[in-house]
Amino acid sequence: QQQVKQSPQSLIVQKGGISIINCAYENTAFDYFPWYQQFPGKGPALLIAIRPDVSEKKEGRFTISFNKSAKQFSLHIMDSQPGDSATYFCAASMSGGTSYGKLTFGQGTILTVHP
């Protein structure tokens, strides 16, 4: 079953604009939420991650916003650049319980940044 739902499936943004990708999860036991970036022909690479004890985490132009009550988290890319064009995946895992060790990914968002 799909426990992490990601939207939109694809996103086109102009250079300098803000890219926003959203994810929603069902399992309240999730306590680690990473975002991965994947370029064509490559494996995914960790971009940024957050735990539910904070509502926002920023690293350079990338920000994760986390809403625990709504069970949603989102990735914001400020001042989007053509080099940001890639597929982005959100994910979730839990640090205990019977599903410890499982990492569940969203469906992915293909981001295209036009120059």
Partner 1 sequence: EAQVTQNPRYLITVTGKKLTVTCSQNMNHEYMSWYRQDPGLGLRQIYYSMNVEVTDKGDVPEGYKVSRKEKRNFPLILESPSPNQTSLYFCASSLVLAGTQYFGPGTRLTVL
Sites of contact with partner 1 (CB under 8 A) = 6, 9, 31-32, 34, 36, 41-46, 89, 91, 93, 95, 100-108
Residue 14 forms beta bridges with which residues?
114
Least gap, CB of 20 to partner 1 (angstroms) = 18
For residues 5 and 97, give the distance between their C-alpha atoms in angstroms, rounded to a whole number.
22
Least gap, CB of 44 to partner 1 (angstroms) = 5
Q: Which is nearer to partner 1, 101 or 115 (CB)?
A: 101
Least gap, CB of 19 to partner 1 (angstroms) = 18
Q: Tell me whether the omega of the peptide bond preceding residue 40 falls within 30 degrees of 0, making it cis.
A: no
Q: Which is nearer to partner 1, 60 or 115 (CB)?
A: 60
Residue 57 forms beta bridges with which residues?
64
DSSP helix/strand/coil, 7? strand
Q: Which is nearer to partner 1, 17 or 24 (CB)?
A: 24
Q: What are phi and psi of 31, to 5 degrees?
A: -140, 15
